[in-house]
Amino acid sequence: MGTEILTVGTELLLGQTVDTNTAWISQRLAEAGIDVFYKTTVGDNWGRIEAAMRLALSRAEALIITGGLGPTEDDLTRDVLAAVINRPLKPDPAVLAHIEKRFAQRRMPMAENNKKQAMVPEGVEVLHNPRGTAPGLFAVADGKAIACLPGVPGEMMPMCLEQVIPRIRARFGSKGRIVSRVLKACGISESTLDQRIGDYFREMRNPTIGVLAHRGEIHVRLTCKGDDPQRIGAQLDDLEDKIRERLGHLIFARDEEVMEAVVGRLLRQRGATLAVAESCTGGLVASRLTDVSGSSDYFESGVVAYSLAAKQALLDVPRALLEQYGAVSLPVATAMAEGVRRRGGTTFGLATTGVAGPTGGTPEKPVGLVWVALAWEGGSSGRDFRLLGDREMIKHRGSQMALEMLRRHLLGVPAEEA
Q: Provide the 8-state DSSP code for 124.
A: P
Min separation Cβ 188 and its own copies, Å: 9
Min separation Cβ 88 and its own copies, Å: 23
Q: Provide the 8-state DSSP code for 44.
A: S
Q: Provide the 8-state DSSP code for 415.
A: S
Min separation Cβ 344 and its own copies, Å: 7
| 49 versus 146: smaller Cβ distance to its own copies | 49
| 85 versus 303: smaller Cβ distance to its own copies | 303
| 329 versus 346: smaller Cβ distance to its own copies | 346
| 137 versus 369: smaller Cβ distance to its own copies | 369
Spatial distance between the Cα atoms of 310 and 362, rounded to a whole number of angstroms: 23
| 41 versus 329: smaller Cβ distance to its own copies | 41
| 395 versus 407: smaller Cβ distance to its own copies | 395
| 358 versus 414: smaller Cβ distance to its own copies | 358
In 10 A of CB 82, how many CB atoms? 20
Min separation Cβ 123 and its own copies, Å: 27
**Residue 64: phi, psi to the nearest 5?**
-110, 125
**Residue 283: phi, psi to the nearest 5?**
105, -5
Min separation Cβ 303 and its own copies, Å: 6
Q: Are 264 and 289 in contact (CB under 8 A)?
A: yes
Helices 229-247 and 190-203 cross at an angle (nearest 10°) of 140
Q: Is the dihedral of CA 64, 70, 73, 78 positive or negative?
A: positive
Spatial distance between the Cα atoms of 393 and 280, rounded to a whole number of angstroms: 12
Min separation Cβ 29 and its own copies, Å: 8
Is cis: bond before 358, omega within 30 of 0? yes
Min separation Cβ 318 and its own copies, Å: 18
Min separation Cβ 218 and its own copies, Å: 10
Min separation Cβ 173 and its own copies, Å: 21
Query: Within 18-60, where are the H helices?
Result: 21-31, 46-59
Q: Are 268 and 415 in contact (CB under 8 A)?
A: no
Smallest CA-to-CA distance from 249 within 418, 403, 406, 384 is with 418
Q: Is the dihedral of CA 221, 222, 224, 228 positive or negative?
A: negative
Q: How far is CA 45 from the centre of its chain?
A: 31
What is the full DSSP assignment across 147-208? Answer: EEE-SSHHHHHHHIIIIIHHHHHHHH----EEEEEEEEEES--HHHHHHHHHHHHHH--SSE
| 269 versus 307: smaller Cβ distance to its own copies | 307
Spatial distance between the Cα atoms of 315 and 63, rounded to a whole number of angstroms: 58
Min separation Cβ 177 and its own copies, Å: 12
| 88 versus 242: smaller Cβ distance to its own copies | 242
Is cis: bond before 318, omega within 30 of 0? no
